[in-house]
Amino acid sequence: MLETIQTKINSLQNGKKLILGSGIKGDEMQKLIALCENLQSEGVIKIVKTHQDTQSSKKISDSIMVEKI
């Protein structure tokens, strides 16, 4: 799944945004967040917003918006 998402990110045009999170379970979402943070450190994307589940007592992200740089 992470390979598919990375392919989507790589195919984005510069300045375009992508919202990720729909249908992704908690453990996979944490892997996705780590991937996005890595891509951001490499200068590929910018993390615009990370949304956390307000219903959970844990601070778990359930969606993330990234922008291709």
pTM metric for this prediction: 0.86
Q: What is the pLDDT of residues 13-22, one digit of tens each?
A: 999 999 999 8
pLDDT tens per residue, range 28-69: 999 999 999 999 999 999 999 999 877 766 678 899 999 999
Residue 45 burial (CB < 10 Å; 0-12/13-18/19+)? buried
